[in-house]
Every structure is written in C-alpha cells, then in structure tokens.
Structure 1
Amino acid sequence: MKAYEQMPRSIEGLEGAGEWHELKIMMPALRNKRVLDLGCGFGWHCRYAREKQASYVVGVDLSEKMLHKAREKTADPFISYVNMAIEDIAYPDAAFDVVMSSLALHYVKSLKAISKKVYNWLTPGGTFIFSAEHPIFTARHEQDWYYDGNGKRLHWPIDHYQSEDVRETMFLGEKVVKYCRF
C-alpha cells in the first residue's frame, strides 16, 4: 500500500493518472446521473462525478485498504463505497446511467460476464467507460525497464505478447493475477 500511495495518481489525483485525460474526454455529462465506479481505488473518479453533480455514486473495490483511503478523502453522503470483487457485484437492471472503470478490468477473469452485467445495470442509452492495461505491460512477469550499468534505460522486454491468458506478475512488490486481452 505504501508504494501505491507514492504513485503520482495517489498524490496528484486524477491529473496524476496517465489515462485520465482520455477518460475525461469520453465522459458524458454527469449532472443528475447515477454512477458506478468499478475498481474505484482511492475514490478519485467517484468524487469527480459528484463534483460534476452526479445524483449519487457507488465505488466498488476489492481492497479494503484502498476503500479506507477513499472514505478518508470523501465527505459526501451521496458517495458510497462497497468492498467487493467486481465479479461478485449484483445490482438491479437499469440501476446506473454511467459505469466507469479505470485500470481494473485486467484483473477480472471473465470480461464477457462483466460486460453483460454492466449492460444490464445501465439504463437505455447509458454509458460504459473503461481503460485497461495495454498488453505490453502484461506480457512479462517482470514489469520494468532493462537498464545499462549507468542506469540508462535500454528497453522494455516483452514475451508472449499475443497470448491471451492469465499472468502472474509483480505490481509494486506484490504478486497479482492479470488477464491479458486484446
């Protein structure tokens, strides 16, 4: 958790997240919308949705430590956080106008099953916005640059780039399971 807290996205919020600028462009108007954030982490997207006047927001994350930080940063009765795996979430049909997920779906075994759930949770004409890790980052167990003796970056090694399968890898010193997809 300490390593995650030192990442630019944890310190600077959405502006420190590389994917945010593209997600923001795709974001619909959120005024009076019901929003679900899958893999909400520290709750940055949840708070952004409320700043844009979403009627209420639900953030879901498997990590209770992440949710603890999200709750510490949130003083809004219209944002709730749920500690649960994305695969285990159940909501009634048409419960949300917008479902978003930033860099979480590569941890989900069945993207097809989640996509079907999201489709059902969305109101007609609703919006599903998501980002996932590029396969180049899931193509090797070690996810880091190779450096020369002087610390200069040489290259980012990859293998099994075109294999769509499960990968055990290290992320911030922790072993995680990711699903490589195209």
Structure 2
Amino acid sequence: MKQNVYDHPQFFEGYKNLREGNSGLNDVLEQPALRKLLPQLVDTRILDIGSGMGQFVMHCSQQGAKKVIGADISKKMIEFSQKNNRDVNTEFICSAIEDLQFDNQSFDLVTSSLVLHYIKDFRGIASKIHKWLDTNGIFIFSIEHPIVTSTNSMQGWICNEQGQKVYWPVDNYSEEGSRNQSWFIDGVIKYHRKISSIVNELIEEGFQIERIEEPEAILEAVTKRPELGEHRRRPPLLLIKCHKR
C-alpha cells in the first residue's frame, strides 16, 4: 500500500506550519545544497517527484525552464501548489510515484527532495527515471541520511539527565527495510538503505554518479538558530547527483 500521510489533516497542518515558519531543514540546508547541484535550467524539461507545496517547481519556472511538472501523492499538496503557482509552463499531477507514467526521454532533469526514503522500491523508481530521462539527462535527489534512519527504534539523540544531547546512536545499519516513526502523527513509515546500496543500485540501473553531498549547517546559521548546531555533529541529509549513461 502506498503511503500518503500528507493528506492526514494533522500531518498536513504540522508540515505546512514547519515550512511556512522556516523551522525545518528544507530552506536552510536541503534546498541550498540541492540548488548548487542544478545544471542550467533555461529551456529544460523538468520533473519534480514529490513536489510538495510547489516551491521548487516555481523556482525552476522562474529560472527559464521550458516545462516543469510537479507530482505528489497528496491531494492537499497539489491543491495548494495549483492555488499558489499559475505559471503557464508548470503542471501539477496528483499521483503516487509508483504510478507515474511518462514517455521515454521526456525530461532533461528529474529531481526529488526528501521523498525517496518513503519509497519501498528504490531500484524500481530509479529504473523508471532512467527511462524518462533524455540522453545525458540528470537525476538529483535528497533523502534523510542513512545514519538518521538506521536505528530500528528511530530513537534519535541520546540525552543525559540534564536533557543535553550526548550522542546520536547508529545501530542496525546493515538491516535495510522499513522504520516506523512518529512525526506529527504516529505510524510514519520510512525505508532505511545503506549508502552503498543506494549508489550501487543507481549504477546498476544505468546512472553515473557525479556528486555526493552531506550538507551541514554553517556557523552563521547556527548563530541565528542554535538548534541547528546538532546537524554539525551528524549529517541529517544525503544528496546525490547522477546522469544517464
């Protein structure tokens, strides 16, 4: 069964407040790192998988993309995106990633921000993306770092008696598979994969790796938001840029 937690009213409102309040990692860490990996966007055909509220689709449109399609399983996210983005070169599709269908060589660039750790069959999605990309097309994505998703309990920081974060536990790293987490609501399912599995499956599906990034909060950002300091102690995100061979 495909997971759609973003249409749960409590989850949607929590996530919406997170993004609008700029209290998450998207705007301060993930998006800056992802955008540094982008190629020239003028006249490109782009697919953004798990497009959420449509901010990245809008960015690509404003950078001169020929066509930008945002796809998301959440009806609430798609409705929000359509309401707030009316550029003629953009389109939003409400669909699970697994159900998307496009002609071969339809896109020059496929992106995905913090979505693929919700997907059980990473290899299957990579295979589809490879077919959708034109010759030398680029695939860029971010996920929660496998260090973050490794522990079966998804426990998070280990704290001392004073409530100070002492260390981040890394356990069960080689035990790939589902993890059950409480995030806004109970029962959010994520999938842990080793870095080697992710990279090797991309290579085996016909991609050549160009760049791997593990962004950390810069000191200036930590000064403004001290809670970001913990993300200098362990990497929260993994980004990979690859192209179709």
% identity of equivalent residues: 35
- The whole-number CA distance in structure 1 between the counterparts of 2:51 and 2:74 is 9
Segment drifting more, 43-52 vs 162-171: 162-171
Output the CA distance in 2 between the equivalents of 1:138 and 1:170: 13
| Residues 168 and 178, structure 1, Cα contact 8 Å, conserved in 2 | yes
Higher relative contact order (CA 8 A, sep 6+): 2
**Within-5 A mapping of 1:165-176:** 165-176=177-188
Shift of the 79–135 alpha-carbon distance from structure 1 to 2, 3 Å rule, reads same
Distance 1:139 1:14, change over 3 A: closer
Match of 2:130 in 1: 119
Within 1, Cα distance between the matches of 2:84 and 2:67? 16
| 1:42/1:14 CA distance change after superposition, 3 Å | farther
Q: Does 1:80 align with 2:81?
A: no
1:135 — aligned with what?
146
**How many residues align structurally?**
181
1:180 aligns with 2:183: no
Give the 3 Å change call, closer, same or farther, for CA 10–117 of structure 1 in structure 2.
farther
Determine which of 166, 172, 176 is the counterpart of 1:164.
176
Cα distance between partner residues in 2 of 1:76 and 1:10 = 21
Which 5+ residue runs of structure 2 have no aligned equivalent? 1-11, 196-245
- Structure 2 CA distance for partners of 1:3 and 1:146, relative to 1, 3 Å: farther
Q: Structure 1 94/60 Cα, relative in aligned 2: closer, same or farther at 3 Å?
A: same
CA distance in structure 2 between the aligned counterparts of 1:134 and 1:15, rounded to whole angstroms: 14
Cα distance in 1 for partners of 2:67, 2:186 equals: 33
TM-fit CA distance, 1:19: 1.5
Unaligned regions of 5+ residues in structure 1, if any?
none
- Give me the CA root mean square deviation: 2.1
User: TM (normalized to structure 1)?
Assistant: 0.89
d(CA) in 2 for partners of 1:173, 1:142: 14
Tell me how far apart the structure 2 counterparts of residues 77 and 21 of structure 1 sit (CA, whole Å).
Answer: 25
Distance 2:31 2:76 in 1: 22
Distance 2:25 2:108 in 1: 21
